[in-house]
Amino acid sequence: MHTPREGEAAPRLWGSYVALGDSFTEGMDDPWPDGSFRGWADRLAAHLARARPQLRYANLAIRGKLLGQIIDEQLPAAIDLSPDLVTFCAGGNDILRPSSDPDALAAQFEEATAELRATGADVVICTGFDTKEVPIMRRVRGKVATYNAHLRAIADKHNCHVVDLWSMAVLQDPRAWSEDRLHLSPEGHERVALRACVELGIPVTADWSEPWPEAPPADWLTLRRADLKWAKQHFVPWLGRRLTGKSSADGIEPKRPQLAELCEKP
């Protein structure tokens, strides 16, 4: 929980917010009843709008996008929108590729961050998650840690806010993740949004670090069946796209390409 303390500076009331990124920022797998995705960035925008109801918000993020694609396609659009606040979270899809170089990715990321800061916008950067408990993805943990170190240095150099996902131990619980084990669950997205609010000084009444309720332990057979289901329904199709050069981004457009006031769905 974060509430203003006596003598604490009032939070800045941003008038416009643009989110850049991939599936994490697009909001998979946090669906609205109509099947569209919400996600932590939409949730953050809602929190921001409670402090400034006229907030205008755009979300340019598209699932499956690599860092270079985000920079080429989303960065110019974001600069044209002239927002007060930008969240820039990218590079995760690159890190998953065996040939990726976190040092080279960080150089690209810094150049884009400098462009955003040059517009006068405040910028929020998200580190990568700690993947030690995630099957398959734990093999890239060292690369994620290296990239994160660069991101923190970039944030320090360019005076950006950082949402440190790596340190969010609450996200190590399986309930923070959807069935595909790659995207956050609705509750996981809300935890990230609350953590971003704390970083930005936005008062919230919930605590992102609140422990999960006690859950009954799963037996070995149940866990193995869940692993087999995950491999069949999620990992094999994901691997197939990688091997065939297909992308989950094919045919997908940004869900909120223009700045507009929020209209909460039922």
Q: DSSP secondary structure string, 73-84?
A: IIHHHHHHH--S
- Of 151, 191, 199, the residue nearest 171 (C-alpha): 191
Structure tokens at 259: 């700045």
Question: Residue 2's pLDDT is what?
Answer: 45
Collect all residues with Cβ–Cβ distance below 8 Å to 231 and sequence separation of at least 6: none
Are the C-beta atoms of 125 and 162 separated by less than 8 Å?
yes
Q: What are phi and psi of 125, to 5 degrees?
A: -110, 140
The helix, strand and coil proportions of the chain, stated in percent and rounded to the nearest 5, come to 45, 15, 40
Distances in whole angstroms, Cα of residue 69 to Cα of each of 45, 65, 114, 232, 236: 24, 6, 17, 29, 25
pLDDT, tens digit only, all 266 positions of the chain: 544 444 444 567 899 999 999 999 999 989 998 888 999 999 999 999 998 999 999 999 999 999 999 999 999 999 999 999 999 999 999 998 889 999 999 999 999 999 999 999 999 999 999 988 766 677 889 999 999 999 999 999 999 999 999 999 999 998 998 877 688 999 999 999 999 999 999 999 999 999 988 876 766 565 556 555 655 555 555 566 555 666 666 678 999 999 999 976 65
Counting beta carbons within 10 angstroms of the beta carbon of residue 134, is it exposed (0 to 12), middle (13 to 18) or buried (19 or more)? middle
Kindly give the residue spans of alpha helices, DSSP state H, lying in 91-212: 92-95, 102-118, 141-158, 186-200
- Structural domains for the chain: 16-209 (3.40.50.1110)
Are the C-beta atoms of 62 and 254 separated by less than 8 Å?
yes
- Of 180, 183, 235, 170, the residue nearest 39 (C-alpha): 183
Q: What is d(CA 209, CA 165) in angstroms, rounded to the nearest whole number? A: 12
Question: Residue 179's pLDDT is what?
Answer: 79
Are the C-beta atoms of 39 and 26 separated by less than 8 Å?
yes
Question: Residue 159's pLDDT is what?
Answer: 98
- Of 259, 260, 254, the residue nearest 39 (C-alpha): 254
Question: Residue 96's pLDDT is what?
Answer: 87
In DSSP terms, which residues pair with 162 in a beta bridge? 125
- Of 215, 222, 220, the residue nearest 187 (C-alpha): 215
Q: What are phi and psi of 46, to 5 degrees?
A: -65, -40
